[in-house]
A = this chain, B = another copy of it.
Amino acid sequence: MNTTANTSPLSGLANRQVRLASRPVGMPTRDNWQFTTEPVAEPDDGGLVVQTLYLSLDPAMRGWMNEGKSYIPPVGLGEVMRAGGIGRVIASRHPDFPVDAYVTGTLGVQEYARFGRDEIKRLGVARIDPRLGGLTQWLNVLGMPGMTGYFGLMDIGQPKPGETVVVSGAAGAVGQTVGQLAKLKGCRVVGIAGGKAKCDWVVHELGFDACIDYKGGAVKDGLKQHCAQGVDIYFDNVGGEILDTVLTRINRKARIIICGAISQYNNTETVQGPKNYLSLLVNRARMEGMVVFDYADRYPQAIAELAGYLQAGRMKSKEDVVFGLDTFPETLLKLFTGENFGKLVLQVAKT
* Chain B CB within 8 A of A70 CB: yes
Do A289 and B294 have beta carbons less than 8 Å apart? no
Contact B244 A278 (CB under 8 A): no
| Given A271-B275, A275-B272, A278-B264, A287 contacting B286 (CB threshold 8 A) | yes
One of A190-198, A254-262, A330-338 contacting the partner = A254-262
Count of interface residues, chain A, beta-carbon cutoff 8 Å: 33
Binding site for B on A (CB under 8 A): 69-71, 239, 244, 258-261, 264, 270-291, 294
State the Cβ distance, A257 to closest chain B Cβ, in Å. 10
Q: Which residue of B lies closest to A274 (CB)?
A: B273
Query: Could you say which of B258, B275, B279 contacts A281, with CB atoms under 8 Å apart?
Result: B258
Q: Give chain B nearest CB distance to A119 CB in angstroms.
A: 24
Q: Which of A71, A288, A291 is most buried by chain B, counting CB atoms within 10 A of its CB?
A: A288
| Residues in chain B near residue A244, CB distance under 8 A | 273
Residues of B within 8 A of A272 (CB): 273, 275
Cα distance A274–B264 in the bound complex, in angstroms: 14
Q: Pick from B258, B286, B294: contact of A277, CB below 8 A.
A: B258
> Measured between alpha carbons, how far is A91 from B279 in the docked complex, in Å?
41
Tell whether A284 pairs with B294 under 8 Å between CB atoms, given A272-B273, A273-B244, A273-B273. yes
> In the complex, what residues of B have CB within 8 A of residue A280's CB?
258, 287-289
Residues of B with C-beta under 8 A to A270? 275
Report the Cα distance A275→B264, complex, angstroms: 11
Apart from the given pairs A260-B281, A277-B277, A282-B291, 6 other A-B contacts in the complex at a CB distance below 8 Å = A69-B282, A71-B281, A258-B278, A258-B280, A271-B277, A274-B274
- List chain B residues, Cβ under 8 A from A291: 281-282, 284
> Please, how many angstroms separate the alpha-carbon atoms of A271 and B282 in the complex?
14
